Amino acid sequence: MVDQAIIACHWCGSQSPAGTLNCRSCGAPLDARNVVSDSGWAAAPRIRDMVKIEFGQSTCQVEGQMVPVADIQLAAGDAVIFEHHVMLWKDDSVPVANIALSGGIQRILGGMPFCITQATGPGHIAFSRDASGELVVLPLHPGMEIDVREHAFVLASHHIEYSFVRIKGLANIFFGGEGMFMDRFVTRGQPGLLILHGYGNVFQRTLKPGESILLEPGGFLYKDSSVKMDVEFQKIGGSFLGGKMMAMARVTGPGRVGMQSMYHHPHHEKK
Amino acid sequence: MPDTPPAHVTGPTVRCRWCGYSAAGTGETSCPRCGATLAISVRSDTAGWSELPPVANMTRIKLGDSTCQIEGQTVPVADFNLRGNDGIFFSHHYLLWRDVTVSLNTMSIAGGIKRLLGGLPLFMTRATGPGHLALSRDVPGEIIAIPLDPGQEVDVREHMFLAATGPIDYQLRDSNIWFQQRSGQNNDDIETFYPIGWYVDRFFSDKQPGLLLLHCSGNCFTRMLGPDETLLVKPTAFVFKDKAVHMQLHFEYPHSNQTYTGLNPRLIGYRPKFTWVALRGPGRVAIQSAYEPMEGEYSRVDWSSACTNRTW
């Protein structure tokens, strides 16, 4: 009867003892059914208010539902990395340090140098983004590689290796010449926890090898690095005014792709 | 529709409180025609507004052989499964994702130049099946499903439109809601403001019933106005109305002994005012709880479309 005493989480696959209401690794409700659309998109689990997620010796409590907060209780020796602008509050005693990023590419965020900060326990530190949406909790097993839309990442545990890639071909098309970066998270020997924030609602779909869909670039949130992404154009409007080119991202499997329903175009904010 | 009698389960038939559709004993929990949850009572306030019935996550709306699934609740997605040659039209910037098999074409619209000047998309995009195609907007809110029977016509404020099915027809109409502030030596500098936009989108269906989908910001509330019943509504909160509802400008000036003379030259001689659209029944009207800033909120009214005034 041992196998009956275990529940597998439909979101992250990790196992919890029977009777547990929320997955310990990702916070997904275990007593709710997996919500999948006819077209194959699984809605990211709605994490209940105040649910705790365990990683390493530390915990993350998810608070609020419109603009959820990730409130981390760091154990001594554990650390998280994050972009400096998502920090909401912290204990005075928690040390923070900037991480030197490899690669000489200058990445600018809102006129300021882009930087990744590391906070080390013990103590509390909390993060949130600036718009209504969902926290997407992705526990990473060793040997995983995930690409994430820039600035969508809220925090990663310190065992996760962080780097970013510049997507040259997509630069002018997607983001008005600013260039597009994707954050890349890799786990080597140890598992880690990655938390993203998606605007609006978040959905995930697993593409079979060779299967592809066309996705609004602003709706792209994350993908396994095995998923290929290219740009495709379609002319919309054929009047004497010349019409307009619409760019869509063609994503091709195999692997997972994550989408946010409130698509986000950074250049709109700069107007 | 809020005027329909309260839903009651009489034997196997359940009547949808939002669109009036009678679902015969299929055991459906949501209305197949508009997606509204069936087994709940519509929440109304004492003033007469009814909250839009919730659409449960992953609810399917039937569109002939095709379906539309509503996914998510903060910024809901309308995910169409188009069969055969079924089609919908929409504004192309709401496209979230699509299957490779769905074809997109441009639909010409009468009044293209007017739309261009009005800042509206110049063309609508028509998508034809087979395959999936999903649309969403970029603000938290609700999707409003309005089934249109032949002969029904609704007027929708610009930028609220998400998609409509094939049988629905569309016309661009002057809103005829504007006012002007004149300045300069000869009063020849004219600034014109359009509190609900230059144009109103009118949707109707001639022969077959169709489905119209709107997206509002925040929450949507509807109410049925009796004949000659009048209501003042914030222009940017207005979502849609039945064709029979009459709409015009209304200005209200609170009691005050002085005019505002700030340093801003635009405000010299300005009297604090409230700008409203006055909606007069009979018919259905809808508002949204989150609204954009309004054009000309702090401008003087020197000349305007037909309006009424009230000074306290």
Which tens digit of pLDDT belongs to each residue from B60-113?
999 989 999 999 989 999 999 999 888 999 988 899 999 999 999 887 666 556
Peptide bond before residue A122 is cis, with ω within 30 degrees of 0: yes
Question: How far apart (Å, rounded) are the C-alpha atoms in residues B211 and B214?
Answer: 10
Inter-chain residue contact B136 with A263, CB threshold 8 Å: yes
> Which member of A43, A234, A246 has the closest CB to residue B72?
A43
Inter-chain residue contact B72 with A39, CB threshold 8 Å: no
CA distance B136 to chain A (A): 6
Does the beta carbon of B219 lie under 8 angstroms from any beta carbon of chain A? Answer: no
Task: Find the radius of gyration of the CA atoms of chain A.
Answer: 19
Does the beta carbon of A118 lie under 8 angstroms from any beta carbon of chain B? Answer: no
A-contacting residues in B 32-91 (Cβ below 8 Å): 57-58, 60, 67, 69, 71-77, 79, 81
Q: Which residue of B has its CA nearest to A35?
A: B58
Rounded to 10 degrees, what is the CA torsion of B214, B220, B226, B229? Answer: -110
pLDDT of A37 reads 94
Lowest mean pLDDT among A106-120, A123-137, A152-166, B187-201: A106-120
Does the beta carbon of B128 lie under 8 angstroms from any beta carbon of chain A? Answer: no
Mutate to test the interface with B, among A33, A134, A214 (most CBs of B within 10 A): A214
> Which member of B69, B74, B132 has the closest CB to residue A200?
B74
pLDDT at A243 over 80: no
Tokens of A59: 């915990």
Q: Which residue of A has its CA nearest to B99?
A: A213
pLDDT of A268 reads 42
Inter-chain residue contact B96 with A264, CB threshold 8 Å: no
Inter-chain residue contact B81 with A246, CB threshold 8 Å: no
The predicted model scores a pTM of 0.85
pLDDT of A241 reads 53
Residue B68 Cα distances to A42, B65, B219, angstroms: 16, 10, 21
Percent of chain B with pLDDT over 70: 87
pLDDT-based confidence at residue A193 (cuts at 50, 70, 90): very high
> Would you call A94 exposed, middle or buried from its count of C-beta atoms within 10 A (0-12, 13-18, 19+)?
middle
Mean predicted lDDT score pLDDT of chain A: 85
Peptide bond before residue B140 is cis, with ω within 30 degrees of 0: no
Inter-chain residue contact B75 with A201, CB threshold 8 Å: yes
A13: Cβ contacts below 8 Å, ≥ 6 apart:
none
Inter-chain residue contact B71 with A201, CB threshold 8 Å: yes
Per-position DSSP letters for B49-90, written without gaps between them: -EEPPP--TTEEEEETTEEEEEE-SSS-EEEEEE-TT-EEEE
Helix (H/G/I), strand (E/B), else coil: B246: strand
pLDDT at A81 over 80: yes
pLDDT in tens, B218-261: 999 999 999 999 999 999 999 999 999 999 999 998 887 766 65
Q: Is the ipTM of this complex over 0.85?
A: no
Question: How far apart (Å, rounded) are the C-alpha atoms in residues B141 and B75?
Answer: 6
> Would you call A129 exposed, middle or buried from its count of C-beta atoms within 10 A (0-12, 13-18, 19+)?
buried
Inter-chain residue contact A200 with B100, CB threshold 8 Å: no
pLDDT of A150 reads 84
Which of A167-181, B122-136, B152-166, B247-261 shows the highest mean pLDDT? B152-166
pLDDT of A139 reads 94
CA distance A261 to chain B (A): 6
Helix (H) or strand (E) holding B127: strand B124-128
List CB contacts (< 8 A) between B137 and chain A: 262
Helix (H/G/I), strand (E/B), else coil: A217: helix
pLDDT of B3 reads 46
Residue length of chain B: 312
What number is the average pLDDT over the span A1-8?
A: 68
